[in-house]
Structure formats: structure tokens, C-alpha cells
Amino acid sequence: MSQRGEVFPASITSSLQKILTHHGVLGGSVVTFDKHGFHSFAYGHAFLDSIPFTDSTFLRIASISKMFTGIAFLQLVEEGKVDLDQDVNMYLNFKLMNPAYSNMPITARMLLNHTSTLQDSKQVLTMAKKAIFRDSLNPDQEMPNFSELFLNGKNHFLPRTIKTKKGKIAKVIPGSYFHYTNLNFVILAHIIERIEQQPFHVVIKKSLLDRYAIPGGFIVQEIPEHSTLSPQYLPKGNTWIPEADAYSAPYDSIFTSITDYVPGRNVLRFSPQAGMRVSSHGLATFFRSFLSDSKISTIKTMMFKSSWKAKSDNNSHQFDNLFRDWGLACHLINERQEPFAEDLPWIGHIGRANGAYTLMYMSPQAQKGIVIFINGKRKQSKGSIGFESIEKEIMNIILNKHWRKE
């Protein structure tokens, strides 16, 4: 992997320390990258009062994972193996159709920019649990096939119309109505497996992570030996409850075996919407290399081009209206939006899962970016909000003190 980063100057470190302490963070790190290299800051613990959290600590990065799934899919588009605007049923072994708009095909572009009108149903969550972990009651039970989610008329689409907060009736039309949905990226990953005839985690490692020598991946077995994988934590009273990636046994005894996994069976095994484990320095290194990689300029052009913009009738309320512009598998900030005012556009993703918070945003114009990892914090938000106050405070320090000084 690339060279290690420098620590931030004392004034920046002091400010970051105060912010994380104020918000009751258990452990975390902040890494920036630009044309000069990397700067990093680490805080707290990966495990309760034991192993320190560093910029080399691995963490499940939640929805930033979708960017990796999206990039891998766009590689197939560039290779001519899939078409962004064809009916995705060309690539599926089940029927995907919004019954309210049966004459409107669902396309890969709609999946990539969250305008497919799909929603995350309880059935998806139930199947995900069955696909990821061994069933302790029925250890010999076969992993269910992903296609079973869509059999017997099961419908995972939003209703035809939705009443907005202002009382207006909005039409939920595929291709224009935005609804942030994990299932979109599970379907994209399923298509990747069917086309490549390899397990999803193998495709990501070979085509993306190995390209820039980044350790990590979509299965815990790919984390290097002797590395630290931090759990994700939720606060409870005066203690912390590990909600994900807290293991007391070898990974292979907990997770369904991958040695006999058949590509296309059930990609939920790898959580393509949220299951990437990587370090903050590794994530920063990946996107620094990604920005400067001239051989994938076509993919970046597709990815960074605006494909959905918020209007009064096409939904932007999720995450407190944070999402006003969307590319393919990434959030675009093309206009001034706190805390971003310069070096526009900023492109990236947020992640929220099991009490942990992650964030990565980059400026292609300025060739720089910021990564934030938090494995848990005392002040938990209610509901889905936009940028957390702690994230805005950290980014303001970086944008207005660190980079402006340079």
C-alpha cells in the first residue's frame, strides 16, 4: 500500500480531539489525502479500553461500500458486458418490474442512482440474515437462493403515489423518483456475479482492491492476519454494546463457508450494500489512486455526471434533504452546501450502521478528499439525518484550517 501519512499539526489534532471527546466517541480516525500525500488522526479504542483505534484499524464501512459495488458494475459497462439503459431483466434470473408501471423497464442506471422505486422490505432483511451467517439451529440448511425474494408475486416496490410532508401527492415513477434503497445495490452485485461467474468478493478484490494494493474486502477472511477489526458499537447506559463484527470464534466458524459458494446463489452473503471492511488509510489510498488513475477516466465520467436532481415532486427528504444531486453510486455536491463551499464538486458517500458512522468525500478538481471513521458515539441521532454535527465540525476543521493553510 502507499506511504503512511503524517500526523496533523498540533493545532488541528487538538481541535479534532476536542470534537470527538465532546461527542462521546469510543474510537475513530480522520484521514485526508491530497497531491502532497496523507494526514491522519486517531482517537480512542477499537475494543473497550484495550486496543487503540488507528488509521490502520479495519471497520465495516457501511454504505460507502456501495461505491465499490457501483465502480465494479461500471467496469462491466465500459467492457460492453452490460448496458446502463437496458431492462435489467436481460441479466437476471427473476422478473423485476414495478407493477404500477409495468410498461416501464427498470434499468441499471435507476439502480445506481436510487430511482428504481424499489424499497427495503422485511423479507430482504430476513433473507440477508439467513444468507450471511450459519444457522445455529439448522447448520446443514442450505443458503436460500436470492431469486426466491422475487417469486410468487412478491413486491418490493414503493406504492404508486406518496403524500409529501407538505400534503402534496407525488407520483413514484421509475427513473425520476428518488428513494435511497439498499436492495438496488444487492441486485447490481447479483448481476456482477452472473456475468463474471465469480463470487462478488473475488471480483471486488481482483478488479478494485488489488489494483491499488488495498488490504480488506467484503469478507472478513480477507482482512490481513494480525490486523485489528473494530466492532460497530451502540451506547447503552455507561457501557457499549457491540452490534456488528464482534467475534469470539474464528471467522470460518461463524460465517457460511465461502469455499463452496456458487456465484449467483445469494450475493447477500457479502453485504454488497454495506459489508466492505477496510482501514481509513486504505480507503483514503484507494480514492486518492482512483482520482489520479487515467486508465479509468470513462468510469469516472459516467460516475460523476449528475443523473438525478432534487425537485419538489421527485423526493429528497431522506437524510434531511442531504441528497440534492446524485451521480451513479455516489452523492454529488455541485453547489455550496454546508460544510462544502470551495473546490466543487465534492463526491462521496456517508455510512450509518449499528451505531457506527463513516464518511468519504473527494474533490476531483482539487485532487483531495477526507475520510472519517467512528465506531460508536454517545450522542446517537434519532432517525436518518444528513451530515452529523460531528461530521460537519470535523470537515470544517479540515476545510478551513488544514487545507486553507496549505
pLDDT of 198-215, one tens digit each? 999 999 999 999 999 999
pLDDT at 405: 59
Matching residue, cell 444468507: 131
Listed range (78-87, 139-148, 239-248, 348-357) with the worst mean pLDDT: 139-148
Residue 397 lies in a domain: yes
Q: Is residue 191 part of a domain?
A: yes
Give the pLDDT score at 163: 85
Structural domain of 157: 6-405
Amino acid making up residue 29: S
What is d(CA 251, CA 221) in angstroms, rounded to the nearest whole number?
7
Which one-letter DSSP state was computed for residue 150?
Answer: G
- The pLDDT confidence band at residue 136, using thresholds 50, 70 and 90, is low
Give the mean pLDDT of 315-338.
Answer: 94
Greatest CA separation for the chain: 61
- Residues 392, 357 contacting (CB under 8 angstroms): no
Q: Where residue 385 falls among pLDDT bands split at 50, 70, 90?
A: confident
Contacts of 158 (CB under 8 A, 6+ apart): 117, 118, 119, 172, 177, 179
Strands of 121-184, DSSP E? 161-163, 169-171
Whether residue 292 has pLDDT greater than 70: yes
| pLDDT for residue 80 is more than 70 | yes
Does 35 fall in a domain? yes
Q: How far apart are CA 89 and CA 78, in angstroms?
A: 19
What 3-state class would DSSP assign to 116? coil
> Is the pLDDT assigned to residue 317 strictly greater than 90?
no
pLDDT band at 282 (very low <50, low <70, confident <90, very high): very high
- Angle between helix 183-196 and 65-78 (nearest 10): 40
Alpha carbon of 218 to those of 121, 237, 287, 371: distances in Å? Answer: 23, 32, 17, 19
Mean pLDDT value across residues 102-127: 96
- The string of pLDDT tens digits covering residues 13-44 is 999 999 999 999 999 999 999 999 999 999 99
Tell me the three cell numbers of residue 112: 445506481
Residue-level pLDDT at 250: 87
Question: With 50 as the cut, is the pLDDT of residue 90 above it?
Answer: yes
The helix (H) or strand (E) run that includes residue 33 is strand 25-34
pLDDT at residue 406 tops 60: no
Domain with 146 in it: what CATH number? 3.40.710.10
Higher pLDDT, 251 or 65: 65
pLDDT value of position 193? 98
Predicted confidence band at 1 (pLDDT cuts at 50, 70, 90)?
A: very low
Pairwise CA distance, residues 75 & 92, whole Å: 18
Report if residue 177 sits inside a domain. Answer: yes
d(CA 63, CA 206): 21
Reported confidence tier of residue 154, pLDDT bands at 50, 70, 90: confident
Domain count, the chain: 1
Distance (Å, whole) CA 286 – CA 328: 18
Tell me, yes or no, whether 36 lies in a domain: yes
Q: What is the Cα–Cα distance from 363 to 369, expressed in whole angstroms?
A: 6
Q: Please check the confidence at residue 139 and state whether its pLDDT lies above 80.
A: no
> Is residue 1 assigned to a domain?
no
Strands (DSSP E) contained in 215-367 are 232-236, 239-244, 277-279, 308-309, 325-326, 331-333, 346-353, 356-363
What integer is the mean pLDDT of 259-285?
96
Q: Cβ atoms within 10 A of the Cβ of 126, count?
A: 12
* Per-residue cell: 324: 440534492
**Is the model more confident about 357 or about 154?**
357
The distance from CA 362 to its chain's CA centroid, rounded to whole angstroms, is: 15
Chain centroid to Cα 36, Å, comes to 26
Answer whether residue 2 shows pLDDT above 60.
Answer: no
CA distance 160 to 173: 7
Q: Which of 373, 308, 366 is nearest to 54 (CA)?
A: 373
CA 10 to chain centre: 31
Which range has highest mean pLDDT (128-137, 163-172, 382-391)?
Answer: 382-391
89-92: which pairs have CB atoms within 8 A and are 24 or more residues apart? 91/191, 91/194, 91/195, 92/187, 92/190, 92/191, 92/194
Backbone torsion region of residue 321, taken as left when φ is above 0, otherwise alpha when ψ lies between -120 and 50, otherwise beta:
left
Query: Which pLDDT score is estimated for 379?
Result: 85
pLDDT of residue 4: 67
Say yes or no to pLDDT of 316 above 50.
yes
Any idea what the Cα angle at residue 64 is, between residues 115 and 350, rounded to 5°?
Answer: 80
Q: What's the whole-number mean pLDDT along residues 85-93?
A: 98
How much is the pLDDT for 313? 84
Cα distance from N-terminal residue to C-terminal residue, the chain:
25
Quick check: is 283 in a domain? Answer: yes
- Report the mean per-residue pLDDT for the chain: 94
* 99 in any annotated domain: yes
> Is it the case that residue 339 has pLDDT exceeding 60?
yes
Reported as a pLDDT band with limits 50, 70 and 90, residue 396 is: very high
Q: What is the mean pLDDT of residues 78-84?
A: 98
